[in-house]
Amino acid sequence: MSKTKLQSEKVEINNSAEKIFNYLSDFNNFQHLMPSQVTNWQSSSEECSFTINGMATIGMKIIEKNPFSKITITSNGKVPFDFHLYVLLEEKGPENCVGQLTFESDMNPMLKMMVEKPLGNFFNMLAHKMKEIK
């Protein structure tokens, strides 16, 4: 097993870190950020599961919230590997912040090779979708 760490691009968001944090602290809101390849979405405020077409079903749960700066999410349920996903927010001004997603997992080199690019693209897409939160 090797440590895999993927980071999305840092994205400038024209919204307060507080507003983005509050929105992303509820998995029921995440569905609006998902691309069309995501199906079978199910969520409560703290947990969600979904299927990415051509890949596995993924379950996640929020395990920690540091107000307006960090949300820690971990794998939950039928996932081919355990992971942590961090939603990081940095306040820049009253209506401006920077958002980034960081993913960490221990996975075998073969699995890493298969998922690194699609996951990287997925996290960049999610980061850019944070700009659309109203």
pLDDT of residue 71: 98
What residue spans define the domains of the chain? 2-26+64-132
Distance CA 89, CA 22 (A): 11
- Tokens 């749960």, residue? 61
Residue-averaged pLDDT of the chain? 93
Phi, psi of 95, rounded to the nearest 5 degrees: -125, 35
- Encode pLDDT of 10-53 as tens digits: 999 999 999 999 999 999 999 899 988 899 999 999 999 998 87
> Rounded to whole angstroms, how far apart are CA atoms 97 and 30?
19
Q: pTM of the entire structure?
A: 0.93
CATH architecture of 2-26+64-132: 2-Layer Sandwich (3.30)
Maximal CA-CA distance, the chain: 44
CA distance 49 to 105: 18
CA distance 70 to 51: 25
11-15, 100-104, 108-112: least confidently modelled range: 108-112
97 pLDDT exceeds 80?
yes
